Amino acid sequence: MSTTKPFTFICGQDDYLVGRMGAERFAGLTADLTDEFAQETVNGFAANMGEVAAALNRFRESVQTVSMFGGKRVVWLKDVNFLADSVTGRAEGTLKLVEDLQELLTGVNPAETSILITASPVDRRRAFPKWCEKNADFALAGGDGDDAGEALAGVALAEAKSLGTSFAPGALELLLQKVGANTRLIVEETRKLSAYAQPLAPAAPTGLGGRIEETHVAELTPNVAAGDFFEAAEAFFSGDLKWTLAALHRHFFSGGDARPIISALQNRNRILIQVRALLDSGDARLGPRGLDGLPKAQALYGKHFIGAPEKSSYNLFSQNAWYVGKLAGNGKLPTLRRLIDNQQEFIAAFEEIIRRPSNAQEEVLRELAVRCLAA
């Protein structure tokens, strides 16, 4: 930490990343303290202006307290949430209290008291965060957040690097598809996958050389992204009947329902119908970057999607080109006729699960898989 700055300010939109970085910084600040009373943590979470005042009063008292044995003190104001664009954050009383906090921080002697503040979320358009960027040892956890997917990928890459591992091509993308926008789970899954990958490189020094493969993610990472039901759809569109039947068995063994799987299959099939049509017409092609030619094809056919949701399985042009290419390239892309037949089979399967008893759902989907894939 820079000795020229009177305090440390860590903020970001993801409370887990902010808290994690804050804990690491606090551990560093208190590493040389032998007096446990010389370090204090103040909870800055507040649901209303009264709680903001109470938290800042406790913080002020802690900052102004002299160490019992005359040494340096470290005070952490953590989990601050009243700097956000919220009802509490916009309240006139809160803004006045934040002004008082700024005045307090201006008069702190860092040689006597080290102050750490962690806040999430933060409205960085406000005067106080801007002042902190100029006057504090400032850190932004998770980046600016302009591209959520890129920020989440950065979290996984940084965690893997810290553990001496790396992601093989396709592994990181698959991890993000299966986990979704859950930062804490991304970190924990990366740690688990890194621990699994390390023993696979026995010739490398300890902590180096492990590589997380796409197969590791597929086998070890659960599908928790809402509504994705990744494994069954992935198995089906890979054309692997044995894998599909096994994935269906695992889904129903854990108490799953047939309708979400049918929905996932229909959504992906609709995208592949559009991809197949563009490939057959020569308006697009599959390349290393995914589906090449989407912008040109959108100029020709995008008008037909007026009124459709901006991000929808009905609209190919609202999808990420790399992701679409990944979907189409995982297995041999079926013919347009086969994809249309698939869609009819999904409708028939849905009607069948309504007619038959609920305990026959797995049987219905197994029959569906055999009809579509056995040939």
Distance CA 204, CA 147 (A): 35
CA distance 89 to 87: 6
Q: Would strands 285-287 and 73-80 be described as parallel, antiparallel, or unpaired?
A: unpaired
Polymer length of the chain: 375
- Supply the pLDDT for residue 323: 67
Instruction: State residue 350's pLDDT score.
Output: 92
Residue type, 239: G
The DSSP bridge pattern shows strands 165-167 and 8-11 to be unpaired
Q: With both helix axes pointing from N to C terminus, report the angle between 258-281 and 241-253 in degrees, rounded to the nearest 10.
A: 150
Give the angle subtended at the CA of 65 by the CAs of 59 and 69, to the nearest 5°. 140
Residue 68: per-residue pLDDT: 67
Phi and psi at residue 211, to the nearest 5°: -130, 130
Rounded-to-integer distance, Cα 324 and Cα 268, Å: 9
**Dist CA 258 CA 232 (whole Å):** 11
Whether pTM > 0.85 for this model: the answer is no
Closest CA to 101 of 29, 15, 42, 22: 42
**pLDDT for the residue 370:** 94
Of the chain, the end-to-end C-alpha distance in Å amounts to 65
**β-pair partners for 139:** 10
pLDDT number for residue 8: 95
> What distance in Å separates the CA atoms of residue 48 and residue 91, rounded to the nearest whole number?
9
Which portions of the chain are predicted below pLDDT 50? 1-2, 146-147, 201-208, 226-228, 307, 309
Q: Is the dihedral of CA 318, 319, 325, 329 positive or negative?
A: negative
Q: Which two three-digit tokens encode residue 344?
A: 């009819």
- Does residue 134 come out as left (phi exceeding 0), alpha (psi in the -120 to 50 range) or beta? alpha
Query: From start to end of the chain, where are the E strands?
Result: 8-11, 39-43, 73-80, 113-119, 137-140, 165-167, 210-212, 285-287, 290-292
Q: Which domains does the chain have, with CATH numbers?
A: 8-140 (3.40.50.300), 148-220 (1.10.8), 230-373 (1.20.272)
Place of tokens 């309708």: 259
Burial of residue 342 (number of CB atoms within 10 Å: 0-12, 13-18, 19+): buried
Residue 216 backbone phi and psi in degrees, to 5? -60, -45
Ramachandran category for residue 244: left, alpha or beta (phi over 0 → left; psi -120 to 50 → alpha): alpha
Helices 171-179 and 183-197: angle between axes, nearest 10 degrees: 140
Residue whose token pair is 């990420």: 320
Identify whether 288 is preceded by a cis peptide bond (ω within 30 of 0).
Answer: no
Collapsing DSSP to helix, strand or coil, 45 comes out as coil
